[in-house]
C-alpha cells in the first residue's frame, strides 16, 4: 500500500476537509475528500433512476464500468456520459440537503463500497496524497504512514454547521447526532485506525489544527512545502 498518504478521518463537522485542503496545499500534494465520492455515486443513482434497493447490482455495476470520474485540475468529481464526456459535480450540489439525505442509503451498500474502493485508491498522485473521509485510514489507505482522527464535541459541530452553512442550530445538532449514529451502526462502523493519532478540534482554530498536522507530517519524514 502507498505510504506517501496522510489520512484524515472523523465525523461530522470535525474540520477534516478544511484540514485536508490546507495541509495538501502546504505540502504541495494532491488533496481529496473521499467522502464526496459517495455523494457523487448518489448523484449518479439519482441521475439514472437507481433506487437504493437496486444499488447492489445496478449502481455497483455502473461504478465498476467507470461512470465516475475525477477532474484533477478542478479537484472535482464528475459523471461520465456517453462518448466519454464528463459532467462536473459542483460542491453545492454534492452537499445539498437532498443528496445528504439519500447518501447513507447508498453508501451503506457493501457492493457499492467495494466498487468505489479501487476508484478512491486511484486518486493517489505523486508526490503524495492527503485524503479526508470517514474510513481512509482503516479501509481505503490502511498503509498510510500518517493517520489522524479528528473529533469534536457535538454541540461545537452543530455551531460550526450553523456558522458555515446557515443551518439553524437545532436542525444542525439533530443532523450531527443522526449522522454520527448512522456511521457507528453501518456494516463497517466508523472508527479510528488502531495506529491513528486522535485530535480533539473542539477548541482549536483551523490554523492551530494545521500547525499540529504540519508538525506530525514533519515527524513522519514528509517534506514541507510553503503555505
- Do 195 and 176 form a contact (C-beta atoms < 8 A)? no
Here the cell at position 45 is 443513482
CA distance 17 to 31: 9
Radius of gyration (C-alpha) of the chain in whole angstroms: 17
pTM of the model: 0.87
| Burial environment of residue 129 by CB neighbours within 10 A (0 to 12, 13 to 18, 19 or more) | buried
Mean pLDDT of the chain: 91
Cα(107)–Cα(116) distance, rounded to whole angstroms? 10
pLDDT, tens digit, 9 for 90 and up, residues 120-130: 999 999 999 99
pLDDT for position 100? 86
pLDDT of residue 182: 82
CA distances from residue 220 to 6, 138, 144, 192 in whole angstroms, order as listed: 10, 18, 11, 19
Q: What is the mean pLDDT of residues 110-139?
A: 93
Looking at residue 224, what DSSP letter applies? Answer: P
CA 178 to chain centre: 18
Q: Domains along the chain? A: 1-34+123-227 (3.40.50.300), 36-122 (no CATH)
Quick one: which of 139, 93, 145, 138 has its CA closest to 116? 139
Residue 160 C-alpha cell reads as: 460550526
d(CA 116, CA 38) in angstroms, rounded, equals: 8
| Pairwise pLDDT comparison (197 vs 2), residue with the higher score | 197
Amino acid at each position: 500500500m502507498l505510504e506517501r498518504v496522510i489520512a484524515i478521518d472523523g465525523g461530522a463537522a470535525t474540520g477534516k476537509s478544511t484540514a485536508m485542503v490546507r495541509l495538501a496545499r502546504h505540502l504541495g500534494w494532491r488533496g481529496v475528500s473521499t467522502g464526496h465520492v459517495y455523494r457523487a455515486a448518489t448523484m449518479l443513482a439519482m441521475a439514472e433512476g437507481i433506487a437504493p434497493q437496486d444499488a447492489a447490482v445496478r449502481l455497483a455495476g455502473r461504478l465498476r464500468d467507470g461512470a465516475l470520474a475525477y477532474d484533477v485540475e478542478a479537484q472535482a468529481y464528475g459523471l461520465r456520459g456517453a462518448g466519454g464526456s464528463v459532467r462536473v459535480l459542483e460542491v453545492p450540489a454534492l452537499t445539498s440537503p437532498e443528496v445528504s439525505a439519500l447518501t447513507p442509503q447508498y453508501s451503506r451498500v457493501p457492493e457499492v463500497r467495494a466498487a468505489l474502493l479501487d476508484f478512491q485508491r486511484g486518486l493517489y498522485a505523486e508526490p503524495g496524497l492527503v485524503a479526508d473521509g470517514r474510513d481512509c485510514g482503516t479501509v481505503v489507505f490502511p498503509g498510510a504512514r500518517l493517520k489522524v482522527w479528528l473529533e469534536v464535541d457535538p454541540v461545537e459541530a452543530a455551531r460550526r454547521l450553523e456558522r458555515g452553512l446557515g443551518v439553524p442550530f437545532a436542525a444542525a445538532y439533530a443532523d450531527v447526532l443522526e449522522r454520527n449514529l448512522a456511521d457507528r451502526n453501518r456494516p463497517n462502523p466508523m472508527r479510528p485506525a488502531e495506529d491513528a493519532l486522535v485530535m480533539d478540534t473542539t477548541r482549536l482554530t483551523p490554523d492551530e489544527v494545521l500547525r499540529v498536522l504540519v508538525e506530525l507530517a514533519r515527524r513522519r519524514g514528509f517534506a514541507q512545502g510553503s503555505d
